[in-house]
Chains A and B, each alone.
Chain A
Amino acid sequence: MTDWSRAVSTRPPADLAAPLETVTGNRGLQIEEGLIFEQGSPGRCGVDFADPPPFEARLGGLERQGAIGLPGLSEPQVVRHFTRLSQKNYAIDTGLYPLGSCTMKHNPRLNEKLARLPGFADVHPLQPVSTVPGALALIDTLAHWLKTLTGMPAVALSPGAGAHGELCGIMTIRAALEARGERRSRVLVPESAHGTNPATAAACGYTIDPVPGNPRGRVDLEVLQRKLGSDVAALMLTNPNTCGLFENEILDIAAAVHAAGAFFYCDGANFNAIVGRVRPADLGIDCMHLNLHKTFSTPHGGGGPGSGPVALAASLAPYAPLPWVVHGEDRLELAEHKVGPTEQAIGRLKGFHGQMGMFVRALAYMMSHGADGLRQVAEDAVLSANYLRARLDGDLSLSFAGPCMHEVLFDDRFLKDTGVTTLDFAKALVDEGYHPMTMYFPLVVHGALLIEPTETESKASLDQFTAVLKALVAAARSGDGARFHAAPRLTPRRRLDETAAARQPILRWRPESAHLQAVE
């Protein structure tokens, strides 16, 4: 009998040579992929249609002349192209995404299945309303859940994303003030606020008056009270705030804002910390946008689409943007014009009725969790962030003492004299297989690192993350600068030249650039 097994070695070689320079530039499964424009062939097509029989066109003589310039690819090429592209992306499905204020929780696939039901996906927004009672029922049910969770009597569902919701909120506030015959000119915004807050208020013609934080990381109530006056339209507050802290003086804040005749707007980006445990209405909030793509798990999709419904107090409800889903005599109706109860609505903010696809996903998420599950979400989110705080306090520099909510804020004091910046630290984390935490935000501390684990991380995942951060801190302190300054080294691309991209913007492929690609 011949012993075949001796011919084949089953152990790796003892001497490992230097990293391999490949012919293709590929590194095993990590494959270089050009643009579709560099792979097209004229006439090739990835879809099969028959040409229509000859007919007389009625395009008014305005037929397109000349080629558009789109590349022709077959289906296999398209599948391979986008598959390869996907493999260069980090995602929640890949690993922990500790981005503060983004709430990168697991995106359930049930949501995707239900959003694709023909009864939702293959329904036209302008079908006769009598043919879509189920769509209106879904919207109404979602509205009921959001109203119950926030304690507010009304919710505007049409805004297309969080920032759009902020715009909606500020517009309803201005409409309410105008209905009172008042023109106020200032909006108060904490210095720690997300950039969309002042951008939104400024877009609506308000002057931004920043409110500093106190040494405990909360809004300075005294300064706020001094800044309030009869020319203040609103305070825009995030709660928990962008430092991950609950505004414990919020009832006093609300009272002061209302005493000045102003409105209390809350940025609901951090709702994940309190959902099911606190209702914003009970905090004196008049207006709060929610991010369905944060708290309610609709997928981030590489940057969108989102959905930003706005919960409204009774004082602002009449101004909600169109359309409204209203309870008619014996069925749900869609109010699309300013008539009767909708007379004072601020009008439309976008086309059609809102981000229906995201409504289905969010409702599936809410129903899956239920009242008990959602409360558990907030508790686990807060627990996980505090666990990281307790384990990392001392390794990283905690910006504010005491418990945090669903996210924890560190600053770059722990990197003092190491020559490593927050940016370098984050890039080294990338080599370790993690997406970095939110960096350099909020602006109220230096070199901020804002970590939000969310409730969908296992304890093992949190422990591993903690271990990696501790090891990196030790490496920075021991002078291992190269690990940080050269990072990332193991990713599809290393650090990119953002200066060149801004100085000489190349924002599209052009046929002439084909020769430059060949030179590479």
Chain B
Amino acid sequence: MTTLRFTKDHEWVRLDGDLAVVGITDYAQSQLGDVVYVELPEIGRRVEQGKEAAVVESVKAASEVYAPVSGEVAEVNEALAADPAMVNDDPMGDGWFLKLRIKDPKELDGLMDEAAYKRLVEEQS
């Protein structure tokens, strides 16, 4: 069973061994509109929980994507360069942004589970 958690800024994180896969939620992509470009960090960069890890661009806006947990960037989704639409089409799967090698899995405890996130989205809509 993989752990799936959500942040209040509409990022999701899924634990896959010692790697945390990060992306933006379906609600986020629908608010953003057509994604045209994703600015991904360099491999090896250290990111802190709550700080900017990537930028996702639509035609009219550029939004920061904050790291849900702290860690070191191990992998980025290179396929997004050629096909940024994947973020819109499959935000929870193929539209993933990056994978972090994390030190402290306990950071996930402070994040929302799927049910709590669903409630947040309902409130905001």
Contacts and interface: CB of A to CB of B under 8 A. Distances in A.
- A–B direct touch in complex (beta carbons closer than 8 A): yes
Interface of A: 440, 498-499, 501-503
Given A499-B59, A501-B59, 6 more contacts: A499-B34, A499-B36, A502-B36, A502-B37, A502-B59, A503-B36
Interface string B84-105: 1100000000000000000000
Nearest to A501: B59
A499 B85 CA distance: 10
Contacts of B57: 502
A501 B57 CA distance: 13
Contacts of B37: 502-503
A498 B85 CA distance: 14
Interface in B9-65: 34, 36-37, 57, 59-60
What 4 A-B pairs have minimum CB-CB distances, sorted nearest first? A502-B36, A499-B34, A498-B59, A503-B36
15 contacts: A440-B60, A498-B59, A499-B34, A499-B36, A499-B59, A501-B59, A502-B36, A502-B37, A502-B57, A502-B59, A503-B34, A503-B36, A503-B37, A503-B84, A503-B85
A285 to B, nearest CB: 32
Overall SS of chain A's interface:
helix
B27 to A, nearest CB: 18
Contacts of A502: 36-37, 57, 59
Contacts of B84: 503
Contacts of A440: 60
A503 B33 CA distance: 13
A7 to B, nearest CB: 57
A498 B34 CA distance: 10
Nearest to A498: B59
Nearest to B85: A503
A75 B34 CA distance: 43
A501 B59 CA distance: 9
A502 B34 CA distance: 10
A446 to B, nearest CB: 14
Nearest to B34: A499
A99 B57 CA distance: 26
B92 to A, nearest CB: 21
A502 B85 CA distance: 11
Nearest to B83: A503
Interface in B70-123: 84-85
A503 B58 CA distance: 9
A440 B36 CA distance: 20
Contacts of B85: 503
Contacts of B60: 440
B74 to A, nearest CB: 27
A498 B59 CA distance: 7
Contacts of A498: 59
A503 B59 CA distance: 9
Nearest to B59: A498
Nearest to B33: A499
A501 B60 CA distance: 12
B87 to A, nearest CB: 11
A502 B60 CA distance: 10
Contacts of B59: 498-499, 501-502
A3 B50 CA distance: 89
A501 B37 CA distance: 11
B77 to A, nearest CB: 16
B80 to A, nearest CB: 11
A253 to B, nearest CB: 30
B62 to A, nearest CB: 11
B84 to A, nearest CB: 6
A19 to B, nearest CB: 30
A382 B85 CA distance: 46
A158 B60 CA distance: 32
B86 to A, nearest CB: 11
Contacts of A501: 59
B85 to A, nearest CB: 7
A5 B114 CA distance: 82
A503 B84 CA distance: 7
A498 B84 CA distance: 14
Nearest to B37: A502
A208 B56 CA distance: 22
Nearest to A503: B36
A309 to B, nearest CB: 32
A440 B61 CA distance: 12
B37 to A, nearest CB: 7
Task: Name the residue among B37, B59, B60, B85 with the largest chain A CB count within 10 angstroms.
Answer: B59
B35 to A, nearest CB: 8
Nearest to B84: A503
Task: Name the residue among B36, B37, B84 with the largest chain A CB count within 10 angstroms.
Answer: B36
A440 B37 CA distance: 22
Nearest to B36: A502
A158 to B, nearest CB: 32
Contacts of B34: 499, 503
A503 B60 CA distance: 13
A216 B82 CA distance: 47
A65 B48 CA distance: 54
A502 B57 CA distance: 10
A503 B89 CA distance: 15
